[in-house]
């Protein structure tokens, strides 16, 4: 029982492959928008020294360059990530994974640098 393919079968297969490719690309873009690398946790002010030491170890890079401006560890900054939640706090540092860390009055925030739309010194 020989199995033969016609030109129509190839056209249908190509069209189906195109549909699946567009679907997968669209879904991956949606997931990238929804899933940004960001973390935030509250801390106890009594443990401030320990928190700062751990953050400095995890984010050892002292200088962060953003839109032509250099920000240094310890500077008070205001950052606006793509999800529009304003972060105002002290810059702790950066790491080699393109993440930066801030400490605010209530929490420690780690944010992917590529997801920050604006950052200014206070």
Q: What is the DSSP string of 34-79?
A: H---EEEEE--GGGHHHHHHHHHHHS-B-EEEETTEEEETT-EEEE
Query: Which tops the pLDDT comparison, 92 or 31?
Result: 92
pLDDT in tens, 38-84: 777 788 888 888 888 888 888 999 999 998 899 999 999 999 887 77
pLDDT value for 25: 85
Instruction: Write down the number of H helices and E strands in the chain.
Output: 2, 8
Nearest Cα neighbor of 39 from 109, 107, 117 is: 109
Please tell me the predicted confidence (pLDDT) of residue 40. 78
pLDDT tens sequence across 1-21: 577 889 998 999 999 999 989
Cβ–Cβ < 8 Å for 64, 70 = yes
0.85 exceeded by pTM: no
What is the pLDDT, as a whole number, of residue 32? 60
């Amino acid at each position: 029982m020989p199995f033969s393919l016609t030109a129509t079968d190839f056209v249908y297969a190509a069209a189906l492959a195109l549909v699946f490719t567009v679907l997968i690309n669209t879904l991956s873009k949606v997931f990238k928008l929804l899933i940004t690398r960001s973390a935030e946790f509250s801390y106890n002010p009594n443990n401030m020294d320990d928190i700062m030491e751990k953050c400095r170890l995890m984010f050892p890079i002292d200088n962060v360059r953003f839109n032509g401006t250099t920000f240094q560890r310890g500077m008070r900054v205001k950052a606006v990530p793509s999800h529009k939640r304003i972060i105002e706090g002290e810059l702790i540092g950066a790491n080699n994974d393109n993440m930066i860390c801030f400490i605010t009055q209530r929490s420690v925030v780690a944010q992917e640098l590529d997801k920050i739309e604006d950052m200014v010194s206070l």
